[in-house]
Amino acid sequence: MRITSLGARVVNAGRRNWIFVRVETDQPGLIGWGEASLEVKTRGVLGAIEDFAPLVVGEDPRRIEHLWQALYRQQFFRGGPVEMSAVSGIDQALWDIKGKDLGVPVWQLLGGYVRDKVRFYDHLGGGAPEATYGQMEPALVADLARRTVEDGFDALKVLAVPRSRPLDSEARVRAAAETMAAIRDAVGPGVDVMVDLHGRTTAAMAIRYGQAMAEYSPWFFEEPVPPEDVDGHAAVAEALPGIPIATGERLISRWAFRPFFERGAIAVAQPDVCHTGGISEVRRIAAMAEAHGISVAPHNPLGPIATMANLHLAVATPNHLIQEVMRADVPWRDEIVTGVPPIVDGHMTPPGAPGLGIDIDEVAAEAHPYQPEPQYRWFHEDGSVAEW
């Protein structure tokens, strides 16, 4: 079997574009699909996929590890989110082909399922441009949380912390605590509530926010400082011993995760299957995390193929904790990608179809062509640049 073409289909989904990677083989009808979506970098990823084509066309798609190594190592300048998103989408498509060729779901190729169902949590958002300093009103957040629980989820995440200066006012800290208080009042103590700081704060400010929110029992504190700041993560973890620290959505490959594991800086790793190197690399990161007593809760605000890739990983990964899903994108996602199991009472069950278990309606996808993503610009009151 040989790969005959490598390409991509772009589907606009409002605030972002989905990049669906398409790998075609010389076996009639055997096509693999993956997802390489990267916010605001769509054209860059498409260019990287095109650049990679000579390395994969003509090769055996079943040699997944061999091709991963070639894509990663046979580049003098390698790594980074654009290139690794392209690698991620290709890798997922290769797993899809291998599962289809053998007639088994991808989770079976990963060693079989270790759990009967996968727990999901809903992300309430909070970074919308209309929000004040990136923070929604407590009443609105509480209403969203209430609806999430009514839909069957027992876990949710909120971007409760505003864009903050290196040392910010007590008013900002109180506003974040009020948001958490409103959520707790709305859903009670039986729902796990995660707090996403989005790397907006210094370690000093993250600690102040954490201390103010501690009474509301955040399940974990995500990205309390920018992703490159290993020492900052460790400082926050040390200062907030009762609040687990999570990070990883912007860490690219196992080598970026290693210092966080070695320092004991995080309790939860959050690799993104669309950015960090696909199914193959998330498996390796999860194994490294397991050796350090760390759980994995993969990042996933993207499209339905990404959700399916994460589902297969979750089914077969012993230290998988919980899976993120972003439901508030577009109402027609099921018209383009079919085969994604429904979320019932906050859980999905292992899919049984071969490969990733999805089908793509390419005609329906063409009805939603590429559109430039919104480029938001964030500044503090004094005009200085703020974190997204």
The secondary structure element, H or E, covering residue 47 is helix 42-56
Residues facing 337 on adjacent strands? 360
Cα separation, 302 vs 315, in Å, equals 19
Q: Write out the DSSP string of 298-352.
A: -B--S-HHHHHHHHHHHHH-TTB--EEE---S-TTHHHHEE-PPPPBTTEEPPP-
- State the average pLDDT for the chain: 94
pLDDT on residue 377: 83
Cα separation, 206 vs 357, in Å, equals 41
Q: Write out the DSSP string of 208-241.
A: HHHHHHGGG--S-EE--S-TT-HHHHHHHHHH-T
**pLDDT band (50, 70, 90) for residue 124:** confident
Measured between its terminal Cα atoms, the distance across the chain in Å is 45
pLDDT on residue 344: 96
Report whether pLDDT(216) > 90. Answer: yes
Cα separation, 314 vs 323, in Å, equals 8
Extract the tokens encoding 92.
Answer: 């997922």
Instruction: Indicate which residues carry an active-site annotation.
Output: 198, 299
Cα separation, 181 vs 175, in Å, equals 10
Q: How do residues 68-97 score in pLDDT, each as one tens digit?
A: 999 999 988 888 999 999 999 999 999 999
What structural domains does the chain harbor? 3-108 (3.30.390.10), 111-354 (3.20.20.120)
**pLDDT band (50, 70, 90) for residue 129:** very low
Q: How do residues 224-262 score in pLDDT, each as one tens digit?
A: 999 999 999 999 999 999 999 999 999 999 999 999 999
pLDDT on residue 126: 61
Closest CA to 196 of 283, 122, 279, 251: 122
**Of residues 67 and 128, which shows the higher confidence score?**
67
Report whether pLDDT(130) > 60. Answer: no
pLDDT on residue 328: 61
**What global pTM score does this model have?**
0.95
CB 365 within 8 A of CB 20: yes
Residues facing 320 on adjacent strands? 296
**pLDDT band (50, 70, 90) for residue 333:** confident
